[in-house]
Amino acid sequence: MTQLAQALHDGELAAASALGKMGPAVARTDIVDRLVEWLHHPHSEARLAAVEALGGMGPGAARIHVLDGLIECLRDPTNLLQEPAANALGRMGAVAAQFGIVDRLREWLRSPEKEVRIAAARALECMGSATAWAEIVDPLLDCLHSPEWRERYAAASALGGTGAAADRSDVVAQLFETLRDAINYVRSPAADALGRIGAAAEHASIVDRLAEWLDDPERDKRSWAATTLGRVGAAAARPEIVDRLGEWLRKRDDEARRWAATALAGMGTAAARADILDQLREYLRDPDPPVRIEAAYVLGRMEAGTRVDILDRLVERLHDPERGVKESAAMALGRLGAAAGRLDILNQLGEWLRDPDLRLAAVRALGQIGLTAERIDILGRLVDGLGDPYAFGNEAADALERFAAEGFHVFLRGRRLVVNHIAASTQAGHMP
């Protein structure tokens, strides 16, 4: 780290990027102070590198002069820094809120400058639960009435982060109106906000109105009702709503079936009735690949691993001719966790680790399923993958870390792998 710190002082952009990736542990005062200086650098590339590095350090870099600098970056004249600065503030979350940042952003929401209001709302969205204050709801509601769609989008996104603080009839009514916004891009955060408010406050009236929309003759209302019910989650899984979605699921209407799948996936185990699971199991053999992909995804979200017939059908799909179906089945099996730890499943996923097209899906599924035995073949392939500079290397490291937590302690010495079972070591009176 000393070399990186020196490189940073010498003005190397790559050093800033490397330090940011190392996280809070490297947020030393000298490093942070140098990055803050870069926030005022005349070149936008240096300012961007500093913002991203500070964001990577997260709460470890959350000091008042850092937060002041990031706030100012929200107003960078190039607009290059708005998104990364908002993300950096978000990573500092609750620590940033303690320094009064939310109050300052609330003042910015009242600014006469449109871009300043948008930047403030974007930062508040990224800060998430740290912004669950009733005081910011009114200015965000004003922004939701803006003629500028980007401001409406940012306001709806930020309102979702306030959760139960936005549980007001005027806010809910305006979010329902926003579900019918002329810009489709704005509707999604409105649905998310209603879902989060409904889940946080167990807001029965939101679910009541969405249930009515399921039978509305207007197509967009039905679509967004299903989407939003999925985002409300388990609280929306009323018998009459699941009945209606089940009817849609059985239709040979691609659009209605997709809407039902979206809602049921969001409700998860709360909607996992036998009739719904049976229909999804049958769809795993549908001639249309997108239907098979959809069915596997929903079954994974419903955690249907106790049904052996469903587990067997998902295993079938690991041999599907379509790559997308294979990946969806692997993802579903991963969500089933230990219930999918069968020998045939582990063997197939282990083979996929050799396949450049499927290995990412395999490592993600294996990391969730875990290992029921010391599979040196699988562990060895994961260790070999640690040198991969892309996503597979990171996923392999995460999987090995989870296996260690579950009882397998992994040591790496060069490219040699030694695996010791913690239970055996404990019996011997020492830890590996």
Provide the 3-class DSSP secondary structure of residue 332: helix
Q: Tell me which CATH homologous superfamily contains domain 1-99.
A: Leucine-rich Repeat Variant (1.25.10.10)
Residue 45 contacts residue 13 (beta carbons within 8 Å): yes
Which of 200-204, 213-217, 225-229 has the lowest average pLDDT?
200-204
Q: Residue 25: how many CB atoms within 10 A of its CB?
A: 9
Give whole-number Cα distances, 175 to 110, 139, 291, 386, in Å. 20, 14, 31, 46
408/207: higher pLDDT: 207
Which of 20-24, 25-29, 250-254, 410-414 has the lowest average pLDDT?
410-414
Helix then strand count (H, E) for the chain reads: 25, 2
Q: Which residues pair with 412 in a beta bridge?
A: 417
pLDDT tens digits, 312-357: 999 999 999 999 999 999 999 999 998 898 999 999 999 999 999 9
Nearest Cα to 420, choosing from 429, 407, 401, 406? 407
pLDDT tens digits, 80-89: 888 888 888 8
43/173: higher pLDDT: 173
Burial class of 386 by CB neighbour count within 10 A (0 to 12, 13 to 18, 19+): middle
406/208: higher pLDDT: 208
The Cα 240–Cα 262 span in angstroms is 17
Q: Quick one: pLDDT band at residue 168, thresholds 50, 70, 90?
A: confident
Whether 426 has a pLDDT exceeding 60, the answer reads: no
The Cα 21–Cα 317 span in angstroms is 37
- Residue 22 is encoded by which pair of tokens? 């190392």
Which of 16-30, 185-199, 334-348 has the lowest average pLDDT?
16-30
Q: Which residues pair with 418 in a beta bridge?
A: 411
Which of 56-60, 138-142, 373-377 has the lowest average pLDDT?
373-377
Q: Tell me, what's the pLDDT at 424? A: 42
Residue 131 contacts residue 102 (beta carbons within 8 Å): yes
Q: Tell me, what's the pLDDT at 2? A: 58
The Cα 359–Cα 399 span in angstroms is 13
Q: Tell me, what's the pLDDT at 405? A: 64
Residue 57 contacts residue 24 (beta carbons within 8 Å): yes
Triad 372, 329, 409: Cα angle to 5°: 25
Triad 114, 118, 122: Cα angle to 5°: 170
Q: Tell me, what's the pLDDT at 284? A: 96
